Structures are given as C-alpha cells and as structure tokens.
C-alpha cells in the first residue's frame, strides 16, 4: 500500500487554518525526507498561494506532487500550469452528495468525470480520482466509476464524513474485490468516530493500493488517518514499513507540525514525548532488565526516545539494578540510602540516576 500525505491540503482547510506558502513549502520538503511516494500540498484553483506551493515543491521533491482539482477544466488547468505531477480530481458519488452538493444526476457526473480525466491526460499529466462519500454509495455505482475511467491508476474511495468502522470497511472492500482490482483503489478516511487509522489498516489488509494520511491526523473536523500511526502499526504488526524511512519518522513529523504552527498532545500516539516515559517502580525495574517488557516497539526505531524516570516512586529492585550498573554493591543499607537520595532529587532521568548511584558508592 502506498501513501499520499494530505497534511498540508487538509490542515489548511480546517476552520481558521491559513498556512503561508513558506510554511507549506518548508513542511513539504520535510515530508519528502521520509520517502512518501505522493504529497498533496494544495488546491491550485483556490489561489496564488497554492499555485506557488505546487510549483516550488514539484520542482524539488522526490515525491510525486499531487494537486487537487474539481472536475472542471479551469481547475485542471490551474493544477497543470502550476507544474503538478498528478492532478487528483474529485466528484461526489452518493445520492445524497449528488443532490445536495453537485445538483446533478449520476449520468451527468460520470460524463463530467470522464471528460475531466481526458483533459488531464491530454495535458500530459497523470490523473487520479477521489470519489466523495464513497462508503455511503451503493457498490454497483462505485464499480460503474471504475469502468468509466479504466486507465486511471488510482481511484480513491472517501469516507468523507467518517461514518465507517473497520468491520464495515472490510466488508465493503471485500465485496468490491469481486468486480474491481483493489490495487487501483485508494482510501481516504476521516476520524469523526475515532476510526481513521483503524479503517486505513483494515483497508491495508483488504489489499488496497493506496491510502491518504496526515501527520498527527490533521484535517477537517476530527482529521484523517494518522501518517505516523499507520506506518508504525504496519511496521510493528506486519513487518511492512510501507516504503517509508522509519528511522526519522517521529522527528520529521514533529518538525512538520512545528513548521506550520500546529501542536500535538504529549501523550499523542507515536509522536508524544511521554508515551515512552516510565516512572513507576514496577515499570522501571522491568524496563531496566528488558525494554520490551512494557513497550510495543523501541521508540528509537522510529526516531523517538525512551525516558526512564527515577524518584520517590522508585522501588528497591530498580535501585539495585542502577547500583549494579555502576559497580556498587547493592546491600540493604546502600539500597535504602540510594532510595532516599532519589526521592530527594527526583524525578531524574537515567543518566542522572546513574550519577547519583556512583556517588552513593563513594566512601
């Protein structure tokens, strides 16, 4: 499964969002460092800012730069003229969205889509397609789209309002697999019910070819499937890093957020500084002997860091191990004295705890 990062386009569309061109360009360059095959930084038809972003990044990135476009010639031309490698056009496919968003019939939509894809191709650019509200659309209508534009490499099924769960995603994709090649199918999920990442993983197991993701789930409403969570989950549980440079994933994602002025909780999965922090006596004792005891993965594998904290919560077992590490005999009196020192100075990190342990062993 390949990944398209949509952080910069989705994040900029959030209420109150207004990244500058320089912010988006800086973040796009950072995203390229993790080896993403596709980066979708903007929607050129919206104005000069996104046209500048697309033009700059398309000339620099190893990733294919994707520009979003409505199924309109002027949108396509704006994207192509900005230098996009891929133009991704989107159309609504559910009855609800056709009526209330497009105001057109299904037949009119299919004609519009076919004409737009032809125009993208005629302009010498690769077309991708996104089908809005696809997971609330009858499967036969989705198959009809795949048959209407048979040469489009990726057609993304969007759960536009975050209305699905992993079980229904799996069921829908298994059903579609009887009629379409899932290698051509992409997925785009929103996290309104907290299932964005889980749905992307269900789609991965179903065999889709591509998924849209965003750093720290940035995106409209509750956001999208999380780039870092999808990559780490696939790497840890399936031995598949999705072609991403995992060794610098965490620091790059943090830098991306910093560059566009976004924050994340210190307990955010994968990215949070405190998710690999341990202080309780039982936990630190176990982690000192075997770091895999209480962590699902080594945070350093993805560029993160582990922090063991020692202080009033530290127990005798941890104290003994720290003393032994620096060559101090951990007799009962020494252990008790060291625990008092830790309680008075803590909480401290591992390096400082070891310094205190050495001092405890001095005559």
Q: Encode pLDDT of 313-326 as tens digits.
A: 888 888 888 898 99
What percent of the chain clears pLDDT 90, i.e. is strictly above it? 76
pLDDT of residue 291 exceeding 80 = no
Main-chain phi, psi angles of 41, to 5 degrees: -90, -10
Q: CB-based contacts of 279: which residues, under 8 Å, 6+ apart?
A: 308, 309, 310, 311, 313, 347
Average of per-residue pLDDT across 283-310: 85
Q: Encode pLDDT of 77-116 as tens digits.
A: 999 999 999 999 999 999 899 888 878 899 999 999 999 9
What single DSSP character describes residue 224? B
Based on the number of CB atoms within 10 Å of its own CB, is 107 exposed (0-12), middle (13-18) or buried (19 or more)? exposed
Parts of the chain belonging to CATH 3.20.20.70: 2-259
Owner of token pair 């979003």: 68
Tally the residues of the chain: 363
Q: Assign residue 354 a region (left: φ > 0; alpha: ψ between -120 and 50; beta: otherwise).
A: alpha
Average of per-residue pLDDT across 239-247: 97
Average of per-residue pLDDT across 214-231: 97
Q: Encode pLDDT of 2-61 as tens digits.
A: 999 999 999 999 998 899 999 999 999 999 999 999 999 999 999 999 999 999 999 999
Based on the number of CB atoms within 10 Å of its own CB, is 140 exposed (0-12), middle (13-18) or buried (19 or more)? exposed
Going through the chain in order, the beta strands assigned E by DSSP cover 2-5, 38-42, 64-70, 86-92, 126-132, 155-159, 185-189, 210-213, 277-278, 307-308
Picking from 111-125, 233-247, 347-361, which range would have the lowest pLDDT averaged per residue? 347-361
Q: Encode pLDDT of 133-191 as tens digits.
A: 999 999 999 999 999 999 999 999 999 999 999 999 999 999 999 999 999 999 999 99
Q: Is residue 253 a contact partner of residue 228, using CB atoms and an 8 Å limit?
A: yes
Q: CB-based contacts of 116: which residues, under 8 Å, 6+ apart?
A: 69, 71, 72, 73, 76, 89, 127
Mean pLDDT across the chain = 94
Owner of token pair 């994602």: 253
| Single pTM value for the model | 0.91
Under CATH, what is the fold of the domain 2-259? TIM Barrel (3.20.20)
Pick from 33, 56, 42, 34: which is nearest to 6 by CA?
42
How far apart, in whole angstroms, are the C-alpha atoms of residue 93 and residue 87?
A: 19
What percent of the chain clears pLDDT 70, i.e. is strictly above it? 99
How far apart, in whole angstroms, are the C-alpha atoms of residue 83 and residue 147?
A: 28
Q: Count the neighbouring beta carbons within 10 Å of the beta carbon of residue 148.
A: 16
List beta partners, residue 64: 38
Confidence of residue 363 (pLDDT cuts 50, 70, 90): low
pLDDT of residue 214 exceeding 90 = yes
pLDDT for res 277: 81
Question: Could you tell me the sign of the dihedral formed by the alpha carbons of 319, 325, 331, 337, in that order?
Answer: negative
How far apart, in whole angstroms, are the C-alpha atoms of residue 256 and residue 166?
A: 28
How far apart, in whole angstroms, are the C-alpha atoms of residue 12 and residue 297?
A: 32
How far apart, in whole angstroms, are the C-alpha atoms of residue 117 and residue 152?
A: 8
């Amino acid at each position: 499964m390949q990944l398209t990062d949509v952080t910069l386009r989705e994040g900029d569309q959030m209420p109150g969002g207004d990244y500058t061109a320089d912010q988006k360009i800086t973040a796009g360059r950072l995203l390229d460092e993790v080896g993403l095959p596709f980066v979708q930084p903007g929607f050129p038809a919206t104005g000069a800012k996104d046209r500048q972003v697309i033009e700059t990044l398309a000339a620099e990135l190893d990733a294919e730069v994707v520009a979003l476009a409505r199924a309109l010639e002027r949108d396509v031309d704006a994207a192509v003229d900005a230098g996009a490698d891929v133009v991704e056009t989107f159309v609504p496919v559910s009855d609800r969205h056709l009526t209330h968003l497009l105001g057109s019939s299904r037949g009119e939509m299919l004609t519009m889509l076919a004409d737009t894809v032809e125009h993208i191709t005629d302009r010498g650019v690769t077309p991708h397609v996104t089908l809005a509200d696809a997971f609330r659309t009858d499967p036969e209508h989705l198959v009809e789209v795949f048959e209407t534009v048979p040469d489009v490499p990726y057609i993304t099924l969007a759960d536009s309002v975050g209305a699905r769960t992993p079980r229904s995603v799996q069921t829908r994709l298994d059903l579609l697999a009887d009629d379409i090649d899932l290698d051509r199918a992409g997925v785009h999920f929103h996290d309104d019910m907290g299932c964005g990442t889980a749905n992307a993983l269900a789609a991965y197991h179903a065999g889709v070819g591509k998924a849209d993701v965003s750093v720290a789930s940035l995106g409209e409403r509750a956001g999208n499937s999380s780039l870092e969570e999808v990559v780490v989950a696939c790497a840890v549980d399936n031995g598949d890093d999705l072609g991403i440079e995992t060794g610098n994933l965490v620091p790059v994602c943090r830098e991306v957020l910093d560059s566009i002025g976004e924050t994340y909780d210190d307990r955010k999965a994968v990215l949070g500084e405190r998710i690999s922090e341990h202080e309780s006596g039982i936990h630190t004792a176990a982690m000192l002997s075997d770091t895999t005891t209480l962590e699902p993965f080594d945070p350093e594998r993805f560029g993160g860091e582990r922090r063991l904290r020692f202080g009033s919560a530290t127990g005798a077992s941890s104290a003994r191990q720290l003393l032994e590490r620096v060559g101090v005999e951990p007799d009962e009196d020494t252990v008790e004295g060291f625990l008092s020192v830790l309680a008075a100075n803590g909480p401290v990190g591992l390096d400082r705890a070891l310094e205190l342990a050495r001092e405890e062993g001095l005559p």
